[in-house]
Structures are given as structure tokens and as C-alpha cells.
Amino acid sequence: MDLLVAYISVPDLSICPAQQRYTCLSRSTGGGTYRYEGLESNFTADLPVDSRGLVIDYPALWQRTGQQ
């Protein structure tokens, strides 16, 4: 799925459009994995999600803590 999103830059809070793509790599009752692609930046990350589709780990940026 390709999306046009509003990207908010930190710390200056400037807003600019960004093209993103999300591709389902795997899916099960317990969660799955989606590939994120920044189409303009060429950044790619495989994002594990829980059973509700919420991201668990965003490699090199953050990781969810605790049970949600």
C-alpha cells in the first residue's frame, strides 16, 4: 500500500509530504511483519507488529516496552 503522509521533522516541527510504502511480509493470529519503505529516502525497515497491528520494534529507532 502506497501512502502520501505528513512527515513532521523533530526538533523544528516542520511539516512536509512524504511517500511511504507498506508491504505485508507475514501475518498470523499473533501478529506479523510489514516492510516500510520511504520512497524518497530509500530507507527500508521490516516492522514486527502485534495481533492488533501495532508496531513492536522499529529497528535502530525504538522498541516497545512492557505488555500492551
The answer on pLDDT for 38 being more than 90 is yes
7 lies in some domain: yes
CA distance 66 to 3: 30
Q: What are the cell numbers at 60?
A: 535502530
The answer on pLDDT for 40 being more than 80 is yes
- Which residues, listed in sequence order, are joined to residue 37 by a DSSP beta bridge? 21, 44
Report the domain count for the chain. 1
The answer on pLDDT for 58 being more than 90 is yes
The pLDDT of residue 68 is 62
- Give residue 10's domain range: 2-56
65 lies in some domain: no
Mean pLDDT of 23-42: 96
62 lies in some domain: no
pTM for this model (two decimals): 0.81
Mean pLDDT of 43-67: 92
The answer on pLDDT for 5 being more than 80 is yes
The pLDDT of residue 66 is 81
